[in-house]
Structure 1
């Protein structure tokens, strides 16, 4: 590992010189690639230099222990050495995490889909709560949300809503939200005060760049029809809604939020590309999982990942066994406490797998 870190530091220094070279700056495409590579390596290099400084401090402290010192000074020196050794182990662990292969999708925008599951109207209302939760989280992060398609109920619930979250690192944090979300509460429609359990499913797809997914126009069937609003009421007298079917995969996307047929088509294509890329990546993952059965975690979206319990005011994430008693804040977009733990858990499992394969 240390040899690899030495190589990374040398490469970082080469890049530092290159991106400051006027001749390289003049070649903007090349310069941007080098700047990105430099930025990608920076955290590793900073941490590695911290490690080397600690190593030097440890060497100095050990040399001082050989000197003739009074007992009090020796005790202080031993305490300092213990603290340095502890810090060294922590930095080594952080370096191992930094060296883990990065998910190539982490910096991408996200296409999110929320669908009401079991529970009828209550499930749809919960779906609307989840959409508001992610919208508030996006606001906190400075991200932008654009609704691509939505199907509401008369009571303001969401049967299905598809939206894009645009912002740096959106996928790196929201990818852990895929799965079945369960709510336990007394519905507004319940006169007897009984607690009901309802569900909604969340899918999180990285939005692909155009170069990643090539869609042959001949593989598409495009249908147009009139849009409908809340409860089926007509909102448009022209055929502006668009339904696109990708014939090779059978993936269907419908968009009717815009009055313009062209805008609906553009939005539908963005969602379609994300779903096609997701299908391709899932096929690759399945092949990989079959080849390496020791892989941890299936990522199966049918798994129940989280419960929102209103009577107890708690949120429980079943994947990491974590419960927080801040349901109101969580639904208002305060998700980082659980998401941070999910990231740590993911990194720990990946590190175990990496070490086991070495």
Structure 2
């Protein structure tokens, strides 16, 4: 239960006022009214693409407004419960105030995140790929552990996960896992996870029980809306079909349903095998290819800007973003933000990642403000 005192209530009230400023509450009310007026026009759906874009903007604006209204009501209820509890000596009311404040603190963190997501793609879906790095078979096992961790995290957040490709490892684990996450702010949240993840533990396959360090890489791409144009010349593609492997139900290996697309100019290879239909697998693989080419173009432009700005300082060491240590002590630590926890099981088995994801975005906003100044 959250600490309940006039000071803690006032601190959350000040934080809520700041968030209302970030999200431009009054302006959002006008945006909702205007978009609702447009959607009521009899000719609104004549242009289906524009109508869907408008409805998405309306839904996002409504979410922000309703979230702020609920937060303000929760704050008022908590203050009233606390004051009445103090006046009457009713412990149940004081406990209720603490519960309300705890919920408000969580809600404010979510609203702050929404205010930090300034790119339209942040509010959309994400394509996540986990691949093993250094560490041999152990890295394949680590790849599967991360895959399960993200599935649990998405489940906790109420996001839908569609597994697009899960290639079994040579003996244990996975050689690659690609999945699509559908839900509010999925890409914005999950891009905090992009990078190299390091695991330190006693090897489960080593008879001498020696400590081993393994690595896995996590790539997070946005699912691009149809109106984002990425030109792909069909002559630049090599498309191979083959038997799917791994889980997939009866008959998974009886047809050439799996698809591998190679983009010849860049060498990018995309595979999908979890759909029954070859056409569905091809469509998803093309979606991933579009996203990767889009990200590649953004990275190229960012490099050009970096040359003008001067070299960046490295954060941490190498490309590693987070360490998961299971032996000789237990600790998960993000090397960018300093956020850490000794409750390793909560992270790896239960998908308790919000402290790291929120911590990353809070840190990232601070870094951007520091560079701007």
User: How far apart are the structure 1 equivalents of 2:181 and 2:25?
Assistant: 35
Structure 1's 140 and 229: CA in aligned 2 closer, same or farther, altered over 3 A?
closer
- Gap runs ≥5 in structure 1: 50-94
Give 1:270's match in structure 2, choosing from 267, 279, 287. 287
The structure with the larger Rg is 1
TM normalised by structure 2 equals: 0.70
**Aligned match of 1:337:** 355
Greater Cα shift, 154-163 or 98-107: 98-107
User: How far apart are the structure 2 equivalents of 1:314 and 1:106?
Assistant: 29
User: How far apart are the structure 1 equivalents of 2:113 and 2:340?
Assistant: 25
**Aligned match of 1:32:** 55
**Aligned match of 1:324:** 341
SS at match of 1:148: strand
CA contact (8 A) 1:184 1:197 kept: yes
Q: Does 2:273 correspond to 1:256?
A: yes
User: How far apart are the structure 1 equivalents of 2:252 and 2:37?
Assistant: 58
Count of residues in correspondence between the two structures: 304
Deviations 1:329-351 (CA, angstroms, capped at 9, x unpaired): 00120001121111111111122
Deviations 1:119-178 (CA, angstroms, capped at 9, x unpaired): 111111111000000000000011111111122125440111111111110111110111
**Aligned match of 1:116:** 132
Q: How does 1:156-171 map to 2 (within 5 A)?
A: 156-171=172-187
Structure 1's 236 and 102: CA in aligned 2 closer, same or farther, altered over 3 A?
same
Deviations 1:68-109 (CA, angstroms, capped at 9, x unpaired): xxxxxxxxxxxxxxxxxxxxxxxxxxx999887713321121
Structure 1's 42 and 285: CA in aligned 2 closer, same or farther, altered over 3 A?
farther
User: How far apart are the structure 1 equivalents of 2:39 and 2:139?
Assistant: 60
Structure 1's 295 and 226: CA in aligned 2 closer, same or farther, altered over 3 A?
same
SS at match of 1:349: helix
User: How far apart are the structure 1 equivalents of 2:39 and 2:284?
Assistant: 41
User: How far apart are the structure 2 equivalents of 1:111 and 1:129?
Assistant: 18
SS at match of 1:183: strand
**Aligned match of 2:365:** 347
CA contact (8 A) 2:116 2:361 kept: no
Structure 1's 345 and 240: CA in aligned 2 closer, same or farther, altered over 3 A?
same
SS at match of 2:161: strand
Structure 1's 109 and 285: CA in aligned 2 closer, same or farther, altered over 3 A?
same
User: How far apart are the structure 1 equivalents of 2:152 and 2:231?
Assistant: 33
Structure 1's 22 and 297: CA in aligned 2 closer, same or farther, altered over 3 A?
same
Structure 1's 33 and 336: CA in aligned 2 closer, same or farther, altered over 3 A?
closer
Give 2:234's match in structure 1, choosing from 217, 223, 240. 217
User: How far apart are the structure 2 equivalents of 1:241 and 1:37?
Assistant: 36
User: How far apart are the structure 2 equivalents of 1:262 and 1:309?
Assistant: 42
**Aligned match of 1:138:** 154
SS at match of 1:163: strand
**Aligned match of 1:314:** 331
SS at match of 2:206: coil
- Gap runs ≥5 in structure 2: 1-20, 46-50, 73-110
User: How far apart are the structure 1 equivalents of 2:214 and 2:239?
Assistant: 35
| Shift, 1:190, TM fit | 1.1
User: How far apart are the structure 1 equivalents of 2:119 and 2:360?
Assistant: 15
Structure 1's 11 and 200: CA in aligned 2 closer, same or farther, altered over 3 A?
closer
User: How far apart are the structure 2 equivalents of 1:117 and 1:105?
Assistant: 28
**Aligned match of 2:221:** 205
TM normalised by structure 1 equals: 0.73
RMSD: 3.8
User: How far apart are the structure 2 equivalents of 1:96 and 1:195?
Assistant: 40
SS at match of 1:244: strand
